[in-house]
Amino acid sequence: MDKHSTDNTWMLPAVLAALGLAAAIMLTMQFPPVVGLGTLVRLPVFHGALTWANFIIFTLLGIVGLIVFFGKNARLYTWSKALRYSAIGLWIFNFAFGMFISNFTWDFTASAQPGFFMIMEEPRVRMQFAVSMLGIAVLILPMIFSKWRTLSLFDGIYGFGTLVMVYIAMNFGESLHPSNPVMNSEEAIIRATFLAICFALIIMSSGIVMVVRSLLVRKSKS
């Protein structure tokens, strides 16, 4: 394979990511309005679907990170690294997006304090914030540790640790956030549309991971 073709290995995954995002947006626009929120429900639905897709990436990060560490597989480390950047980047974006849309979908008119503080009282939001902060710390670790096995171990711990934190937050109770309202809906079309959005965003996320890995491989060869 020549240098030109190697440099373009990111293009197909980029197209895959773009198609996944386009499909997710189109499906979200088809999500039926609900009483109370109307069409605004599509914003938290997209946020929730992206969160589910992110859980898949975190799971893969945990699996690949530990395989690299225990298997001493240096060639597989580029995947662990790509999953790390992708999972953390998508999570931080989705956390910020979730905070933004909460101001439109949650009613704070009766509150004496700003909506931000009310939102941060929600255990799941605190979990999302904690995962974001830990993610930033994980991104800083390569400045402290240089060995790829050490970094892959941190990837594995962070990936699975995130899932543990999510489980604890989901069973800790909630103050504002309803418990999985979409999948608990009696309307089959609502559940099916949500799962379709999740699938499209998983495709998008997979494309992003492959793009990031292609760029990392190209950088290592330059």
Amino acid at 13: P
With respect to residue 222, please indicate whether it lies within any of the assigned structural domains: no
49 within a domain of the structure (yes/no):
yes
Residue 2: what pLDDT?
A: 46
Q: Which residues contact 130 (CB under 8 A, 6 or more apart)?
A: 165
| pLDDT number for residue 104 | 72
Domain count, the chain: 1
- pLDDT tens-place string over residues 118-175: 777 777 888 899 999 999 999 999 999 989 999 999 999 999 999 998 888 777 655 5
Residues 6 or more apart in contact with residue 92 via CB below 8 angstroms: 132, 135, 136
Token duo for residue 163: 């899932």
Report the percentage of the chain scoring pLDDT > 90.
59
Q: Look up the domain containing 173 and give its range.
A: 10-215
Spans of the chain, pLDDT less than 70: 1-7, 107-117, 172-180, 183-184, 222
Question: What pLDDT was estimated at residue 95?
Answer: 94
Whether 3 is covered by a domain: the verdict is no
Asked whether residue 5 is assigned to any structural domain, the reply reads no
* Residue at 221 is within a domain: no
Whether residue 2 lies inside any domain: the answer is no
